[in-house]
Structure 1
Amino acid sequence: MGLFSISSPTTDVTGGPGQSSSVSRARVLWLSCTAHALHDGYTDMMYALLPVWQTEFGLSYGALAILRGVYAGTMATLQLPAGRLARKFGTRATLAVGTVLAALGYAAAGISGTLLGLCVALAISGGGSSTQHPLASGAVSRVYGRNARGPLSIYNFSGDLGKSALPAAISLLITIMPWRHALWAVSIVGVLFAAVIALFLPSIPRGDLSMKKASRQHSNDSRSGFSLLFTIGVLDTAVRMGLLTFLPFLLKTKGISQSMTGTALALVFIGGAAGKFVCGWLGARVGVIGTVFATEGGTAALILAVIYLPLTPAMVLLPLLGAMLNGTSSVLYGTVPELTSVDRTERAFALFYTGTIASGALSPVVYGFLGDQIGVHGATIATAATALAVLPLALALRPHLRTT
């Protein structure tokens, strides 16, 4: 059976045999992927709205940064509580309510008239979105068990689709209607999808026998293994966000035009989406450690190549660089269930996502200060060095994995 197959001869997630197993697993996967696309789209939709809010409310750049920080901070800090709520009320109910809150937060932003009102609305939306990463990825992990690595890479890839679609949609909508009406429109989509989750997401099991056996086999060292995986995830995110911070300035030193800068970033993002999809499959085929070595080593080499090559060959390498930058994440997410007990899957994903989100927020600041001291080229080289720092950690992780 192929890795990305969504059928299985084993027990249905809701208790039935045969074909219902395939249908239920497929439903969990695609609803989780759609939730990921919607919530990630809501998260990045704000970038398209910040200029509108700046004009509407006369906000400073500092105030705009506060808006972004309120959303991201609320989403990051509430992921662990979201996992606890899911254990009490169930994944389906918690994810559905979270999706409603994420949608209603933007609806509230559409009726707000002050910076405080926007902050409250975005805190509501960010709090709702805090449910998605731990619960949806945990659901996919539970229903696929040992075969979850491939489906988790599909889930990971789906977030990039939302990041592309919703910001583009809101940008189009605000050209044909008032921005407040546009927010209400995308909020209605979220409320409708929350109803779909409540009605059609199957009950998620707390773990099958094979997963419980695997948990017992790795109970003694899973905590240290997860700590290593967590550290790798934090560093991998730091490399990605740090490089993206400096890439436009690096290309500017090569003479790129302003219009071509957007094209260059699009090439990186396209390659990144492909890398997320492919590397989950690659991790299952050649092993976690081999894939991490390939992606992190490739990232370091390609960063150095982009620094020193002329503009045209550097542009050619950008999609491959994007694939290396983002590819590691699919392998890491697929490894989380392997290094945690079955009953703590959602908590493990919540911890992991909280760490990577925090790294994504803080690393550009750290690299930015470094860039002030040693320049764009020096700070970009530092991102390559960070990628190489992952390699000894990956070797240390090897003994904790079932397969390498």
Structure 2
Amino acid sequence: MRTAVEHPPRAPQRPGGFDSRTLWAATFAHFLNDFYVAFLAPLLPLVVARFDLSLALAGFLATVLTTSAAMSQPLFGAIADRLRRRIFVVTGPAVTVAAMALMGLAPTYVVLVLLLLLAGTGTSSFHPQGASTAGEASGRRKGAGLSLFVAGGELGYALGPLVIALVVASRGFEATWIVGMPGLVAAILLWRWIPPRRDPPARPAGRSLRTDLSSALRPLAVLWFIVVLRSIVISAYQTFLPLLLSERGGSIVAGGAAVFLFGGIGAVGGVSGGTLSDRIGRRRMMALSLLLSTPLLFAFVRTHGPWAYVFLGAGGIAVYLSAAVTIVMAQELMPHRASVASSIVMGLAWGTAGLSLTGVGALADVIGLEQTLTWVLLLSVVALGAVFFLPATPRSRSTPPSQGSRSPGGVTAPP
């Protein structure tokens, strides 16, 4: 007899090991987590006014959230790779939702910092295991599967600012807790939607985390460097877009809409880029993303009026073309350590980039936001040059087992 808490049977997997039910559940968990963690950017103008902050102190809040959400990801990733239960995929979003929903009730700047630190920790625990869960559910179609997972996060990160801006505009800054209630309900439902047990890929005898890292160190370091530079650009735009729009006379809702245009429309690029990389190769897709996004974002900063929003949306699509690709490449470099590999390019790289936000804010205090967001695009040019130091990848990862080298865990090995 079934009990009320028993998980429903898993849907049959399609050929190639593609588990759509688990993939969609992991994607929703990513959407939920990033929907709430994105509340900070559109609320920054209100936070600055409430606590009388400089742009440097406002940037420090983003640094706290970003680094706490990222720097401990390798630790959570190493733990997740050893676990046979997907506990972090469920508990991480719940912690993030609760902490971010309490932002409007923070009485002091210090309390707000502590809430952001807690939200960052929830996010940090979720992402490595969430990405490895999506990768395991994708079978050999990793580009397509992880692009869906990444797009879920991007869509959540884009919709969150828009929703919280609309609620706060009508109900006041203290109303953030209202938006948190449906999120907590959804986090509870994840206990039923996410299959609790996993079967970690079998590792060759004698392989430790150190040996796995050593064998992939050079390409993984180059990949990390590229993601750091790309993440500084993305973080700077996501964090300071509402403030830039405020300087141009826009409302808090306009700021939230701008973040949605950049990230929400950018989710289209996330889905397209991951899927296309299965056909044309990971490295080519990364180069294309950087080559297109830089002039489009430059045009946004230098343009006012309706065309600025067109360039912003197009720039978001272009920059996110490579979002899933970098995670896929990391997992292919370390197929037996998917959570650790994901944490390096999702967490450690983002955390390193997050350390720059205080500096970006301080520079904006001196030369202005428009000039700062223009100069930061030079990092994309450096990243484009670094792409050519990555190993080439085949055009498709979906070859049958007899045509491709397969690891014991069923993941096609990198070249």
| TM-score normalised by L of structure 1 | 0.75
Task: Answer 1 or 2: higher relative contact order, Cα 8 Å, separation at least 6.
Answer: 2
Offset, 1:165 = 3.0
The answer to whether structure 1 residue 357 and structure 2 residue 350 are counterparts is yes
In structure 2, give the amino acid aligned to 1:236. R
Q: Which residue of 2 aligns with 1:60?
A: 52
The answer to whether structure 1 residue 121 and structure 2 residue 115 are counterparts is yes
Alpha-carbon RMSD across the aligned residues, in angstroms, is 4.3
Q: Which residue of 2 aligns with 1:6?
A: none
Q: Which runs of 5+ in 1 are unaligned?
A: 1-13
| TM-score normalised by L of structure 2 | 0.73
Distance of 2:266 and 2:327 partners within structure 1: 15
In structure 2, give the amino acid aligned to 1:59. F
Q: Which residue of 1 aligns with 2:230?
A: 236
Asked whether the equivalents of residues 134 and 349 of structure 1 are also in contact (C-alpha less than 8 Å), the reply is yes
Distance of 1:242 and 1:341 partners within structure 2: 32
Asked whether the equivalents of residues 364 and 371 of structure 2 are also in contact (C-alpha less than 8 Å), the reply is yes
- CA pair 51-333 structure 1, distance change in 2 beyond 3 A: same
Asked whether the equivalents of residues 296 and 391 of structure 1 are also in contact (C-alpha less than 8 Å), the reply is yes
Q: Percent identity?
A: 23
The answer to whether structure 1 residue 102 and structure 2 residue 96 are counterparts is yes
Q: Which residue of 2 aligns with 1:34?
A: 28
The answer to whether structure 1 residue 330 and structure 2 residue 324 are counterparts is yes
Does the residue aligned with 1:207 lie in a helix, a strand or coil? coil
Distance of 1:102 and 1:295 partners within structure 2: 30
Offset, 1:331 = 1.8
The answer to whether structure 1 residue 391 and structure 2 residue 388 are counterparts is no
Offset, 1:336 = 1.6
Q: Which residue of 2 aligns with 1:20?
A: 12
Asked whether the equivalents of residues 236 and 328 of structure 1 are also in contact (C-alpha less than 8 Å), the reply is no
The 5 A counterparts of 1:172-183 are 172-174=166-168, 182-183=176-177
1:147 to 134, 141, 150: 141
- CA pair 89-197 structure 1, distance change in 2 beyond 3 A: farther
- CA pair 369-302 structure 1, distance change in 2 beyond 3 A: same
The 5 A counterparts of 1:211-226 are 221-226=215-220
- CA pair 286-103 structure 1, distance change in 2 beyond 3 A: same
Offset, 1:21 = 1.8
- Worse-superposed segment, 89-98 or 279-288: 89-98
Distance of 1:54 and 1:379 partners within structure 2: 19
Distance of 2:181 and 2:133 partners within structure 1: 25
- CA pair 341-329 structure 1, distance change in 2 beyond 3 A: same
Distance of 1:347 and 1:267 partners within structure 2: 31
Provide, for residues 217-255 of structure 1, a one-character-per-residue CA deviation record: whole Å limited to 9, x for no partner: x987422111111111112223334566888999999xx
Asked whether the equivalents of residues 282 and 325 of structure 2 are also in contact (C-alpha less than 8 Å), the reply is yes
Offset, 1:346 = 0.8
Does the residue aligned with 1:398 lie in a helix, a strand or coil? coil
1:45 to 39, 45, 48: 39
Distance of 2:140 and 2:22 partners within structure 1: 16
Offset, 1:176 = 6.3
Q: Which residue of 2 aligns with 1:296?
A: 290
Aligned length, in residue pairs = 377
Offset, 1:136 = 0.7
- CA pair 107-158 structure 1, distance change in 2 beyond 3 A: closer
Asked whether the equivalents of residues 28 and 152 of structure 2 are also in contact (C-alpha less than 8 Å), the reply is yes
Distance of 1:354 and 1:315 partners within structure 2: 29
Does the residue aligned with 1:92 lie in a helix, a strand or coil? coil
Q: Which residue of 1 aligns with 2:187?
A: 194
The answer to whether structure 1 residue 72 and structure 2 residue 77 are counterparts is no
Does the residue aligned with 2:198 lie in a helix, a strand or coil? coil
